[in-house]
Chains A and B, each alone.
Chain A
Amino acid sequence: MIRLERRPETSRIMLWLTPVLALVLTILVGMVLFAMLGKDPLQTVAVIFVSPFSDLYNLSELLVKATPLILIAIGLSLGFRAGIWNIGAEGQFTIGALAGGAVGLAFHGTDGLWLMPLMWITGCAAGMAWAAIPAFLRTRFGANEILVSLMLVYVATLLLSALVTGPLRDPDGFNFPESRLFEGSAAMPLLMEGTRAHIGFFAALVAAFVAWLLLGRHVVGFQIRLLGEAPRAARFAGFVEARVIWFCLLVSGGLAGLAGLFEATGPVGQLVPSLPVGYGFTAIIVAFLGRLNPLGIIIAGFVMAVTYLGGEAAEITMQLPNAVTAVFQGLLLFFLLGMDVLSTYRFRLRRRVREVA
């Protein structure tokens, strides 16, 4: 008989091994799935995991995908550590792009180095403001931040549609629901000509580094971790739960808003209704895959970027349905959460106790 037995202490090795195991299981199950779809499983896996590294352009696209994922996941991970569940990063991403982008559009044709930072600040502040709604409702009325932040995603998406079909519509755009292109001072500086990789990647690295310092060295990070581990002990320590809720939601909202602005002014280049493609939700998987640890999140962001690009490649070269990326990411989160039990429990083979006849 196999039994699960609680480990006396959380296993450090398992903590880092489980994401790897989850990835391996995802690939194995994925292969079964491809075989059932009538595709050569090995070849499909090769396309998914090799093509993203095949040339410089594909590598730059990895940066494009990983940047918003890492930026958002870093913010979310702080809240997740404290047991504060911001599920609405997608909405904060959208609002950040919308508000910061509106500033860029308002100064259309104006040149100046001040414009880009102004747009960043606006985008970040707008993301914070959107996340402040669940923070206020939670701290003031005890409303569940999961539901409030999630529902606000749909409000944000509809607001984006309304504005790009109205006030923010490109006057020369033949009535298409899209804004002008971000040009000149309002366009995100690129890392390399001919690619879409932009300097927002450095912002993601800075955010990860600051989060690492905060969690490991600063009393604010300690408050966050203690509140997540033992809420009563946090109160005993003199920490105020409401302040931690505000902090975590504002930081995650701000980073998501910034990621949205980067996406709009960089790879996408304009405000369009299809701007939110799910980075805000995928970042939740990234946060957990990276063990809510800033360094882990950087790695996980790239792993997830690979599944995006590889999924696209598999769609094109193997004629797989485009749901394959979402299925892959879903499997990964599923196995990750399932394997997590191994860090606090271990399997024990135990002989059945003989029944005394």
Chain B
Amino acid sequence: MTTTPLLQLDSLTRSFPGIVANNRIDLTVGPGTIHALLGENGAGKSTLVKMIYGALRPDSGRMRFDGRPYAPANPAAARATGVGMVFQHFSLFEAMTVAENIAVALPADLAGSDLPDRIRDVSASYGLVLDPFSRVDQLSVGERQRVEIVRCLLQSPRLIIMDEPTSVLTPGEVGRLFTVLRKLRDEGRSILYISHKLREIRNLCSHATILRRGRVVGTCDPGAETPESLAEMMIGNAVRRHIRKVQEPGAVRLSIDHLTLPAATEFGVDLKDISLDVRAGEIIGIAGVAGNGQDELMAALIGERRSATPDAVSLDGAPVGTLGPTRRRAMGMAFVPEERLGHGAAAAMSLTENTLISARGRRNLERRGVLDFGAAKRFAAEIVSAFNVATTAVTRQAGSLSGGNLQKFVIGREILQGPTVLIAAQPTWGVDAKSAAEIHTALDQLARAGAAILIISQDLDELLSICDRFAVLAGGTLSAPRASADVTVAEIGILMGGAAREQQDDAA
């Protein structure tokens, strides 16, 4: 039986300065199918869907939608044709209600006074429970995603693009989302599902197109593949998963003792009575969905925000809670913030100058206020060679490096200071698999050398593979740490979601 494909891409090409992001991409999505678009970070997935959604124009190639030529001038034209998109990063106004948020995004004829009723209808028929009159800042991440999905569905799209929808969800929420997606498929709508989570794709999708470095490297039925074979297609060689051999931990190096810190802003999270010990040679992970206090905890550990009492944070027994970042670094702490550009590094400054941000003291780059640029340059070169940072010179601006290379530079800058305690947020976020493995190896070596390492991450796979123990941060509260070896992903999901639900009950 031959049916007209819903979406057909023919040799679509788009380049950016210095890189061909999409090179002659062919892709066919049939009606009523969930089609996976699979690839590592930087493989070209985002560029491709932006062209389908009308946010970018292709340099060459053509698209057909439902058999007719399709060249959307902008996202509004794409939506009018029947293409909807749910973004990975939500574009919602936190201080407005669900209905208001949806109304601003709809064409005027769809945003009438009956909108709240239609929101209820749509959310009820798909099991997407949503109150049109609740304010978005009161909603959990999963509920915010429902707002985006409902907003998309109100325009009756025939093709829905979903960009890594599960990256911010708890395992339970993922299950509910999949139920909705399958229902949409059964109605005859198609879904283009972007992800690099192999298990999900095998579970959900009937077709997959795999991108690597801007090209299509294969298509398959994911259900017929193993996660290993899919991963191999994605990254081009066998997945190297580093499994840490647990060693006997030493004395407590970093101690967080009943740390309580009120939120700095209206939309921040209060840290409530957090306690945790990290011992020498140990890597401890803190899991949790973004926005549950990770940023606040990081600021408190770096010293960007001071604790009320000195012994809320201590290092090798010495209280540091009221000290600033420079004093903490002098005592042996090092930090890798989640945001590389703008927090861990300054984009417009050279790599040499970027070493001065955190290594002035421990690498003797400053003597009584006078900066030693020769030493800074040598240190930058040392980082570049030790961590395989791909760059032409240490005089290049940090912003000219790719995300993965900049991350290696920032991590290298901290590790090569020989810290006794390293605290890293999302150490491999947006980093390709090879660089991620290198970073994990470096962290492991640092721990073996006797440092205590704390990793705050949303990537459960990462935490389970490199951490000895881990705890879950939810609603500003930290669970008791558990050994990674004897915990299942489902249990963590319950910890993450359970704590979040508890918080909601408190609020109600």
Contact = CB atoms under 8 A, between A and B. Distances in A.
A230 B343 contact: yes
B17 A5 contact: yes
A232 B342 contact: yes
A238 B359 CA distance: 11
A220 interface: yes
A79 B486 CA distance: 56
Contacts of B63: 356
Contacts of B373: 217
A349 to B, nearest CB: 14
A119 B210 CA distance: 76
Interface stretch (A183-191, A221-229, A272-280): A221-229
A230 B347 contact: yes
A174 to B, nearest CB: 55
A236 B349 contact: no
B50 interface: no
A172 interface: no
Contacts of A9: 396-397, 399-400
B346 A230 contact: yes
Interface in B29-56: none
Interface in B345-380: 345-349, 353, 356-358, 360, 366, 369-371, 373
A353 B57 contact: yes
B369 A218 contact: yes
B357 A8 contact: no
A230 B353 CA distance: 13
A218 B343 contact: no
Given A5-B17, A236-B304, A355-B71, A219 B348 contact: no
B348 A222 contact: no
Chain B CB within 10 A, most for which of A8, A236, A353, A355: A236
B329 A238 contact: yes
B355 to A, nearest CB: 11
B227 interface: no
Contacts of B60: 353
Interface residues of A, number: 25
A110 interface: no
Given A8-B18, A9-B396, A229-B349, A236 B71 contact: no
B228 interface: no
Contacts of A356: 62-63, 69-71
Interface residues of B, number: 45
A232 B343 contact: yes
A226 B360 CA distance: 14
B400 A235 contact: no
Contact of A357 (B69, B329, B343, B369): B69
A233 interface: yes
Contacts of B497: none
Chain B CB within 10 A, most for which of A238, A240, A353, A357: A238
Contacts of B344: 233, 236
Contacts of A222: 353, 356, 371
Contacts of B348: 10, 229
Nearest to B64: A356
Contact of A226 (B57, B304, B349): B349
Interface in A1-22: 5-6, 8-10
A10 B400 CA distance: 10
A237 B353 CA distance: 12
A238 B302 CA distance: 9
Nearest to B327: A238
A229 B356 CA distance: 14
B404 interface: no
Contacts of B357: 226, 233, 236-237
Contact of A238 (B71, B325, B343, B397): B325
Interface in B150-196: none
A220 B345 CA distance: 18
B343 A236 contact: yes
A227 to B, nearest CB: 10
B359 to A, nearest CB: 10
Contacts of B325: 235-238
A236 B18 contact: no
Nearest to A344: B348
A217 B343 contact: no
Nearest to A10: B348
A352 B357 CA distance: 44
A269 to B, nearest CB: 40
B38 to A, nearest CB: 27
A226 B58 contact: no
B412 interface: no
B69 A236 contact: no
B397 A237 contact: no
A8 B17 contact: yes
Contacts of B353: 222
Given A233-B344, A238-B329, A219 B371 contact: yes
B339 interface: yes
Contacts of A232: 339, 342-343
Contact of B342 (A218, A225, A230, A353): A230
B337 interface: yes
A303 B93 CA distance: 49
B116 interface: no
Contacts of B303: 238
A217 B356 CA distance: 12
B387 interface: no
17 contacts: A6-B17, A10-B397, A220-B369, A222-B356, A226-B349, A229-B348, A232-B339, A232-B342, A232-B343, A235-B325, A236-B302, A236-B304, A236-B325, A236-B343, A355-B71, A356-B63, A357-B69
Interface of A: 5-6, 8-10, 217-220, 222, 225-226, 229-230, 232-233, 235-238, 240, 353, 355-357
Interface of B: 17-18, 57-60, 62-63, 69-71, 302-304, 324-327, 329, 335, 337, 339, 341-349, 353, 356-358, 360, 366, 369-371, 373, 396-397, 399-400
Given A5-B17, A233-B342, 6 more contacts: A217-B371, A229-B347, A233-B346, A237-B325, A237-B356, A356-B69
